[in-house]
Amino acid sequence: LLLLIPFLGYTQINTFPWTHDFDNGVGLDQSQWTGDDGDWLIWSGYTWSNNTGPQGDHTTGSGNYWYIESSSPNYPSKYFVCQTDTFDISGTPGQIISFWYHMYGDSTGSLTLHAQAGPPSGPWTMIWSESGDQGNSWHQATVDLSAYAGQPEVRLRFSGLTGNSFRSDISIDDVTVNGQSGSATSSSSSMIYSEDFEQPVGPEWSSNSSTTYGRNVRTISYLSLIHISEPTRRYAISYA
């Protein structure tokens, strides 16, 4: 099955907050990376395999999300890379990036976020990472970009590494790039850049509490799936 995934053009952004919504069928840019092992996909509902991946997107449970499918041949230790457009934050200090991620499966690998300032040939610096099974829930990460204040060219790169079996799907959703004064903070209600995706998880779900953790001020929030009425997997073909 061939999935044709449109992606963002390589453009420069200087107006904030910047919102990229996967609901329009447009993913992050993957054209800059030819040495990785495959492509991220826009998806909705369940992923292909049991005991890995989300049942639905973070935003509503019925939208889209951006994810790595780890079924064969995408394991073991396969590398998937995508990146944002270029941001000009030379006149807007206090920028942050906030996003939600889902890493569920007993073989889950790792997800990292890198930043690059200056020309596209410059070095990339890791500014956030997570690894291993984080449970069947969405978690929020908020990362302070103040180290790049004054930079006219900043790019952000998501890199996912699958584990040693098909139970290592990795997803992101509701990505936000936003100006914020002071230190970076995070809460489940402060989303401004969102990355969502479309399809139902079932008739009943509820929103639960959030807890803030120290590293990069990450907020954990989750949905409790009370009942899933459809045991069959849902499949989504790309958006033209």
How far CA 169 is from CA of 54, 93, 107, in Å, comes to 9, 35, 9
Q: How far apart are CA 237 and CA 135, in angstroms?
A: 26
Q: Which 3 state secondary structure label does DSSP give 147?
A: helix
Q: Which 3 state secondary structure label does DSSP give 44?
A: strand
**Structure tokens given for 70:** 């780890």
Dihedrals φ, ψ of 100, to 5°? -110, 140
Evaluate the omega torsion of the peptide bond into residue 76 and state whether it is cis, within 30 degrees of 0: yes
**Structure tokens given for 41:** 């996909």
Q: How far apart are CA 211 and CA 233, in angstroms?
A: 31
54-87 burial: b if 16+ Cβ within 10 Å, else e = bbbbbbebbbbbbbbbbbeebbeebbbbbbbbbb
Helix (H) and strand (E) counts in the chain: 0, 16
**Structure tokens given for 61:** 């449970």
> What pLDDT sits at residue 217?
30
CB 177 within 8 A of CB 18: yes
Cβ partners under 8 Å of residue 109, min gap 6: 77, 131, 160, 161, 162, 163, 168, 170
> What pLDDT sits at residue 160?
98
How far CA 88 is from CA of 15, 151, 152, in Å, comes to 8, 6, 4
pLDDT per residue of the chain (240 residues) written in tens, 0 to 9: 334 344 444 578 888 888 777 888 889 999 888 889 999 999 999 999 999 999 999 988 999 999 999 999 999 999 999 999 999 998 887 789 999 999 999 999 999 999 999 999 999 999 999 999 999 999 999 999 999 999 999 999 999 999 999 999 999 999 989 866 433 333 332 223 333 333 333 323 233 333 322 333 333 232 222 222 223 233 232 222
**Structure tokens given for 141:** 């990460």
**Structure tokens given for 43:** 């998806």
> What pLDDT sits at residue 180?
62
Full-model pTM: 0.71
